[in-house]
Structure 1
Amino acid sequence: MADEAGLRAYCCFVCRNYVAEHDDIVSKSFQAQTGRAYLFSHAVNIVTGPKENRNLLTGLHTVADVFCSDCGEALGWKYIKAYESSQKYKEGKVVLEKFKIVKDGDFC
């Protein structure tokens, strides 16, 4: 959460619902169908959809789409299971598409 120092937050681009903190970014080098995406260690105020297997650029994963808990906008996906050992670090983490989130130091 933000404090007097004004931590940078990310919010849903539609309704400005707070979803993640900048300090929780694990990687900025992820790719979604629509462009760049960020891997976060966790996110808040999201709803997780049903699990499904998807062949992504890095192989087969079990993922679940994630949606804003306020407006229902699709924001990205959560890695549930990675089948290749080199990809296990993604399990439990959330990818948010860059164009679906806005950055603000005052919780949007």
Structure 2
Amino acid sequence: GGKVATPQNSVQLRGVLGKYFSPPVKVPQPLCARSKMVRLTKPKTFQAYLDNCHRRYSCVHCRAHLANHDDLISKSFQGSQGRAYLFNSVVNVGCGPAEERVLLTGLHAVADIYCENCKTTLGWKYEQAYESSQKYKEGKYIIELNHMIKDNGWD
């Protein structure tokens, strides 16, 4: 038993519904929505450039700057693919989700890091160390040697 809409009862229905719903308002479209030439694209990542007068490390794959030599803490780390360096800070690096991993020095919460420019996985960031002797690593970055090159000012 539903009623079929006719021009007569649709006027009645609009009158009843008008008490509860306001009539549709025509909203002007923004200019960009009207133009067929506008395309939505992924925003460009802006690279950080480290000071030219310092020795630095860059991504071996795309040459994006990664770290200053002054931020190097240790060269005596082991990555999944060989030797790795521990840095205090890095640039042009994105961070994945943190996960718990058992590394050579015990259980840590780490997040993979990748080059923001070419998306290559470079190493990891220490988010949390569970053993007190390893706490100094928290907030620091491991970059594997096979993913970086020495740039600028190395003699």
- Residue segments in structure 2 that go unaligned for 5+ positions in a row: 1-49
Q: Which amino acid aligns with 2:133?
A: S
Based on CA coordinates, which of the two structures has the bigger radius of gyration? Answer: 2
Structure 1 runs not aligned, ≥5 long: none
Determine which structure has the larger helix proportion and give its number: 2
Which residue does 1:92 correspond to in 2?
Answer: 139
Query: In the alignment, is residue 17 of structure 1 matched against residue 64 of structure 2?
Result: yes
Report how far residue 16 of structure 1 moved.
0.4
CA distance in 2, matches of 1:71, 1:99: 15
Instruction: Report deviation, 1:55.
Output: 0.1
Q: TM-score, normalised by structure 2?
A: 0.65
Separation in 1, partners of 2:135, 2:78: 18
Deviations, residues 67-88 of structure 1 (Å, cap 9, x unaligned): 0000100000000000000000
- Does 2:112 match 1:65? yes
Specify the SS of the correspondent of 2:119.
Answer: coil
1:48 aligns with 2:132: no
Q: Shift of the alpha carbon at 1:33?
A: 1.7
- The code of the aligned residue for 2:51 comes to A
Q: Which residue of 2 aligns with 1:102?
A: 149
CA RMSD of aligned residues (A): 1.0
> What is residue 31 of structure 1 aligned with on the other side?
78
Aligned residues: percent identity? 55
Q: Scaled by the length of structure 1, what TM-score is found?
A: 0.93
Q: Could you say which structure has the higher strand fraction?
A: 1
| AA partner of residue 2 (structure 1) | D
Separation in structure 2 between the aligned mates of residue 78 and residue 56 of structure 1, nearest angstrom: 13
Name the SS of the counterpart of 2:96 in structure 1: strand
Answer 1 or 2: higher relative contact order, Cα 8 Å, separation at least 6.
1
Q: Deviations over 1:12-56 (max 9, x none)?
A: 111000010111000000001211000000111100001100000
Structure 1 CA distance, aligned partners of 2:117 and 2:81? 22
